[in-house]
Structure 1
Amino acid sequence: MLTNKLGEYQILYLNAGQDAAWPGKLPLNSWLLLVLADEINKELFDQVTVECVKNRPFGLCCAGTAAHILEDWFDEEIVSAALRWEEKHHQPYDYDFAPVTTADSSIDEGLWFAATLAPNMAHAPIETIVCLDLTGQSQARIRELIPLLNSGWFPPDTNDND
């Protein structure tokens, strides 16, 4: 588990492939999630979406080659959780408090977005950005990006239509 500062945010890196206890390390409030995914893994995607939505992040950013698919899974889980809440409480769910989801094919763009723009879309202040790595190979790049982002760097325009 890597922790570091990115601007005013604490960065928490969790490797889902090497740490089976990662769900218990998720914050309970004031956090935003960046999930790094390059391959579709239905079992892992099910676990990630359920566990993360249960802990109510203020935003959900997906990055990597499977980001767009994972974003759809998060959207489905958010709606499912809202429907379960409505059935339990017998009143409409307030979607104003549902997290905004995004997807970028590049880890660089995903972390930049999570640290610079996504906190502005949250309904309350963010304290922690959790980088949940499903690839098992992104920790070194995250370490490289943190000082770059702290110095004002932003990723070049890749024109990938994300």
Structure 2
Amino acid sequence: MRNIYILIFAVFFSLNTKGQNVEKISIGELEKLINQENENVLIFNFWATWCKPCLKEIPAFEKINENGMVSVHLVSIDFINQFEKRVVPYVENRNLDSKVLFLAEENPNSWMPRISNEWSGAIPATLFVYKGKKYFEEKEFTLEELNEYINKIRN
């Protein structure tokens, strides 16, 4: 009987501990990820916990990540002092499956041009990379728009 309780506890515990770590990265480390060779479309969605349109579109990125044809990286650009207070709890409470990164950089004016010269600083913003080509959009995406955009850059 004791073994049954241990098994039930272990199953319950494993179900409730799903969640992922948020990895802090530098702009240099992010550039390495952006420039990696990959057969899939790489997606880097830039968001913050204080940006309502950003949070609204995250489920679409999660859904598109499920198909395995793309690799989604959700890159938080929250202020550094918000990492433990806002970013980590947000990610843990939503059990996100996409890779979640925290860009631990102070000055957006120094790193935004390294992502795209087109970036005005608005979010949500998304960088798509496919076969070495980069496509940058400052807009909120729906699932349908994401699918259309990915199909367009693949063709």
Q: TM-score, normalised by structure 1?
A: 0.31
Q: Which has the higher helix share?
A: 2
Q: TM-score, normalised by structure 2?
A: 0.32
Higher relative contact order (CA 8 A, sep 6+): 1
Q: Which structure has the larger Rg?
A: 2
